[in-house]
Amino acid sequence: MLILFTLFVVLPIAEIILLINVSGSIGGLNTFLIVIVTAAFGAYFVRQQGFSLLQQIQTKLRAGEAPSTEMAEAALLLVAGVLLITPGFITDILGFLFTLPFSRAPIAEFLMRKIPIMQAGGAHFSQSGFNTRPTGRPFNEGKTDDGDIIDGEFTDKTQSDDKNRLN
């Protein structure tokens, strides 16, 4: 509740106060131009970083790894895009912090530790689909936690029996 109050009440008031003070110092037109330029530059930079991050995600998926950190960074990039097109200096600073790779990665890791839903658990991605086990290792690694090897094939006999009855 406190976070929502800060986002929707305190932050806009602080932005307005800061915009008024800056425009009093450098002029209204200069302040307006700075806000427009940071929005345009921010949108371009978020787009560029988004494509780079997408390539990292695809590389991890091809390697059979869960791109959990990259997905958290992608969420931060989405928030950064919204912050950068919102007029104001505080939102621009936060947006650029979420956009720059050297600051985005530690923020994403911090959020992954604090928000349990962003933790991937054990996951394995491959071209054949999504596989997971409680150990976090892919199914095809062979050994379970107790040391037994589980391997097998099965055939669903119920479908073939249903087909034979219909014919």
Torsion of CA 142, 143, 148, 151, to 10 degrees: -20
Place of tokens 């530790």: 113
Query: Using CA atoms, how far apart are residues 96 and 60, in angstroms rounded to an integer?
Result: 25
Place of tokens 């929502």: 4
- How confident is the model at residue 76, as a pLDDT? 93
* Residue 34, in any domain of the structure: yes
- How confident is the model at residue 167, as a pLDDT? 53
Query: 44 and 114, same structural domain?
Result: yes
- How confident is the model at residue 145, as a pLDDT? 58
Pick from 125, 124, 126: nearest CA to 134: 124
* Residue 166, in any domain of the structure: no
- Could you tell me the residue range of the domain that residue 55 belongs to? 14-120
- How confident is the model at residue 122, as a pLDDT? 46
Q: If you compute the radius of gyration of the chain from its CA atoms, what whole number of angstroms results?
A: 25
pLDDT digits (tens), the chain, 167 positions: 788 888 888 899 999 999 999 999 999 999 999 999 999 999 999 999 999 999 999 999 888 888 888 888 999 999 999 999 989 999 999 999 999 989 999 998 888 888 766 454 444 444 444 444 444 445 445 445 566 666 777 677 776 555 555 55
Give the chain's domain count. 2
Query: 93 and 141, same structural domain?
Result: no
